[in-house]
Structures are given as C-alpha cells and as structure tokens.
Amino acid sequence: MNRAVASSSSSASSSQAIAMTSLSLQDRAAWRPALVLALITLLGFGVLYPLAGTGLARMLFPARSTGSLVRAGDVVIGSSLLAQPFAGEGWFHPRPSAAGYDPMAAAGSNQARSNPDLRKRIDDAIAEVAAREHVTPAQVPADLVTQSGSGLDPDISPAAARIQIARVARGRGLSIEQVGALVQAHTEGPQFGVLGQARVNVLTLNLAVEAKASKR
C-alpha cells in the first residue's frame, strides 16, 4: 500500500516536473520572436532607415538636406530658409519679426485683427516705411508691415523689394537700373508655376547687392 502511494506520488511529481519544463519551453518560444522583432525594428527603423534616408537626401538634395546654408567663402553667414535682420540704407529690409529673428523663438504675434494694439503697430509701421522709402502710405506693401506666422519668413514680395530699390541704390552708390536688375534676377515665381506667390529672398539679394557694389 505504501509502495503504491509512493509510486503515485512519484508519478505526480514527475508529471508536474514535465509540465513545468513544458511551460518553461513555451515561455522561451514565445519570448524569442518578440525579442527578434524588437531587435529588427530597432535596428531597421531606428538605425538603417534614418541612415538610408539621410544618405539619399544628401545625394539628391545636398544643399537643402544641410539647411540651405549660405556661405561667403568658407564662412556660413545664414540660411536661405531663415530671415535675418537688416538695417541701414544699403540693405533690403525683411518682413518684421515677432520673434526678433531668433530661430529658437519662432512665433507670430498672436494678435487678433480686432486687437487695437495690432492696428496701431501696423499704422506706425506703414508710416515708418513710407517715410523711409519716400512713398505714400498707400504704396507700402502689406508684407513690409505685417509679421509672418513663424517670424522667420526669409522672402518678401517683388513689390516690397521694388519700393526699396531707390534707397538701396543711393546707399550703395549704384544706379536704380543696376539694383532693379538684381531684384529681377532674384525674383522667384510660384513653386512649380502654381504654388504660392512670386517672392524675393532677402539674404541672397543683399549678398548680390553687396557683391555688385564691391566691384564698382
């Protein structure tokens, strides 16, 4: 009787051990594909995919993929994608910036049309631009007195560039025709001919004006 009980207990223990081993093997089998998938996802999409995308961008769009940097010789002086502040008679001026032209603080003014402070700021800016460019307030283009949503818009409209030609020509000792030709040469049409409006990049235009004046 005791032998039968002992045999039964031994069989139960053996069966339990086999069951535990089987569960352990099943756990390992379940974990293995999950770990392999995680590793493939991490290496494939976290390392290989970004490297491939970056390499392809560098090959197809070398300037844009590195920030559309503008250089004077070996010195980086800005990016054609970001506005910079210009002041003085010999420079074309960009749009006003609520961010102070700081790329780390890109933002608009967030003032509603109904805000009296916005109306006053625009009226003051119109008077200032009209006096600076010797034109009537009605001739001042809207983009010279309004801030872009980012505060870093690098472009102005051709009209905003044209009303500055006479002042820049005086400041640089160039003729109006010379500066006007530079504005025309740096006027870009809508993207693909249909997207957006014609525009002039202020940084590249100012560099062209400076180069032209240095050859005078």
Q: What is the pLDDT of residue 61?
A: 72
| pLDDT tens, N- to C-terminus, the chain (216 residues) | 544 444 455 555 556 655 555 655 565 666 777 788 888 888 888 888 888 888 777 777 766 667 777 777 778 878 888 889 998 899 999 999 988 888 888 877 778 888 889 899 999 999 999 999 999 999 999 999 998 888 889 999 999 999 999 999 999 999 999 999 999 999 998 877 778 889 999 999 999 999 999 887
Number of other residues whose CB lies within 10 A of the CB of residue 20: 10
Q: What is the pLDDT of residue 193?
A: 75
- SS3 category, 129: helix
Torsion 13-19-22-23 (CA) sign: negative
pTM of the model: 0.71
- SS3 category, 201: strand
Phi-psi region of 110 (alpha: psi -120 to 50; beta: other; left: phi over 0): left
Q: What is the pLDDT of residue 4?
A: 47
DSSP letter for each residue of 160-190: HHHTTHHHHHHHHT--HHHHHHHHHHTEE--
- Measured in residues, the chain has a length of 216
